């Protein structure tokens, strides 16, 4: 089964909470037809299913902590295989959250061709998440959990960017700009891949 995705085009989309990863992925899907897989969305779907595993995940996510690596990697792999016959490429949004996640992904699935680093200032991310929290219904879009998510991002996830910079596959995207201007930079990075 895993053979089906062995040669897939893979783009990691990494950035802080609220930096705009999901927003840009939607636009990439619309223009390029890539398959968007957000690890957070996959986890929230499991929570919404009401399963026992979902209840355990919810408790972790509500605290702004990371769920176990194997859980999230298995979910991503299954979702990739399910789309293998129709996918033009995969946007892996919100993964890797730590260097170890990247290493395990490469062992079990394959290497990314590009890492889009969606970069915004801490204060911008907090502002965007507080605003999103007014309507998102996300249990982690509140002041206390946002602070924990941000701290964890700087501590665990920023090293991921340095790790892939050594390979020359990181494109830093200024996400302080309006959405369409951010996307114009994203487009250039994706077009380089073709
Ligand atoms: N460039 C932008 N300018 C203004 N607002 C933006 C921009 N990009 C995204 N937003 C808004 C849309 C959302 O309400 C909010 C967070 O964006 P979103 O794409 O959901 O972030 P994200 O996917 O990185 O967050 P998370 O990690 O929490 O899932 O900010
Ligand atoms: N890749 C991940 N590893 C561990 N935990 C994860 C991962 N992606 C999402 N999560 C958990 C922890 C996050 O705080 C929440 C929400 O993720 P988001 O990317 O902000 O939707 O889910
Ligand atoms: Mg998101």
pLDDT tens for 49-103 read 999 999 999 999 999 999 999 999 999 999 999 999 999 999 999 999 999 999 9
CATH of the domain at 43: 3.40.50.300
**Residue 72 placed within a domain:** yes
Domain count along the chain: 1
**Residue 165 placed within a domain:** yes
**Residue 181 placed within a domain:** yes
Q: Do 36 and 42 contact (CB within 8 A), yes or no? A: no
**Residue 161 placed within a domain:** yes
Which residues surround ligand 2 with Cβ inside 6 Å? 17, 38-40, 43, 61, 64, 66-67, 72, 94-95, 97, 101, 140, 149
**Residue 194 placed within a domain:** no
> Residue 177 annotated as binding?
yes
Of the listed ligands, the closest to the CA of 39 is 2
**Residue 68 placed within a domain:** yes
**Residue 193 placed within a domain:** no
Which ipTM score applies to this complex?
0.99
With residues binned 3-state (H G I as helix, E B as strand, rest as coil), the percentages for the chain, rounded to 5, are 55, 15, 30
Residue-number span of the structural domain to which 15 is assigned? 2-188
| pLDDT tens readout for residues 161-174 | 999 999 999 999 99
């Amino acid at each position: 089964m895993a053979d089906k995705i062995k040669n897939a085009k893979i783009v990691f989309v990494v950035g802080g909470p609220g930096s705009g990863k999901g927003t840009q992925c939607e636009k990439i899907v619309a223009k390029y037809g890539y398959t968007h897989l957000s690890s957070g969305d996959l986890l929230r779907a499991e929570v919404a299913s009401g399963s026992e595993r979902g209840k355990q995940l919810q408790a972790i996510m509500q605290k702004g902590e990371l769920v176990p690596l194997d859980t999230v990697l298995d979910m991503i792999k299954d979702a990739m295989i399910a789309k293998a016959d129709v996918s033009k490429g995969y946007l892996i949004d919100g993964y890797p959250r730590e260097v170890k996640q990247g290493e395990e992904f490469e062992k079990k699935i394959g290497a990314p061709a590009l890492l889009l680093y969606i970069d915004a200032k801490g204060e911008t991310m907090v502002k965007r998440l507080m605003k999103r929290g007014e309507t998102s219904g996300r249990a982690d879009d509140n002041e206390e959990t946002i602070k924990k998510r941000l701290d964890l991002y700087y501590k665990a996830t920023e090293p991921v960017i340095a790790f892939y910079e050594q390979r020359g596959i990181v494109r830093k995207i200024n996400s302080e700009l309006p959405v369409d201007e951010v996307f114009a930079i994203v487009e250039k990075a994706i077009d380089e891949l073709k």
